[in-house]
Amino acid sequence: MSYKLENKPADTRNYNDRPGGRKPKGILLHHWGTDGQSHDNVVAYLRRYRPANPTSAHEVISAGRVSKLVPLLKRAWHARSANNDWIGLENRPEMSDGDWATLVERCADIERETGRSMRYGKHNDVVNTACPGRYASRIGELVNAVNANLAGAGTPVLSVYLVTAVWASGNSGLTTG
């Protein structure tokens, strides 16, 4: 991998178990909000126990860096009812070429690690929000780039990897709530 993977475990009160031991079925894109915020500050915020606003995400990603906060098999709190089945990735809102490349690589590695073909969605499929900002229009491109990464590494391109290229609101299969 060409990114640095670092373990930054979140406070265990910021996440819980997936119901019935479910395995994640998809990757939900987020951005962390405002341009100019640092990766490290976002990681520190999401790790800290905040009883009044106990949100979390599985990983925080920016160019060349992936911080792991919540184990993928656990249920992080980033998208209401979608938390049960989805992995939440927080991305740098500026979306530089490097930010994008690391996201693509990390998504491919998550598919390798879990042995599962992921579906791809975005936070605003679930709730009315500006999140994931600049990433919102690039879901189809992300799917293609992840498939290319998996193929390039010698992994057979199974049809199961070829998920819906356009994951528009309303047909995502995500439930709101």
Residues near Zn ion, by CB under 5 A: 30, 123, 131
Q: How far apart are CA 15 and CA 2, in angstroms?
A: 28
For residue 90, the minimal CB distance to Zn ion (Å) is 7
Cβ at position 94, least distance to Zn ion in Å: 16
Of 30 and 92, CB closest to Zn ion? 30
Residue 76 has which token pair? 């992080």
Residues 6+ positions from 60 with CB-CB distance below 8 Å: 8, 32, 39, 42, 43, 46, 66, 67, 69, 89, 90
Compute the distance between CA of residue 57 and CA of residue 64 in angstroms, rounded to an integer.
18
Kindly state the smallest distance separating residue 32's Cβ from Zn ion, in Å. 8
Residue 125 or 147: the one with the smaller Cβ distance to Zn ion is 125
CB of 21 to Zn ion, least distance (A): 25
User: Which CB atom, from 142 or from 150, has the smaller least distance to Zn ion?
Assistant: 142
Q: Distance (Å, rounded) from C-alpha 81 to C-alpha 175? A: 7
| 154 phi, psi to nearest 5 deg | 90, 0
Closer to Zn ion by Cβ: residue 119 or 123 = 123
Which tokens go with 72?
Answer: 């993928």
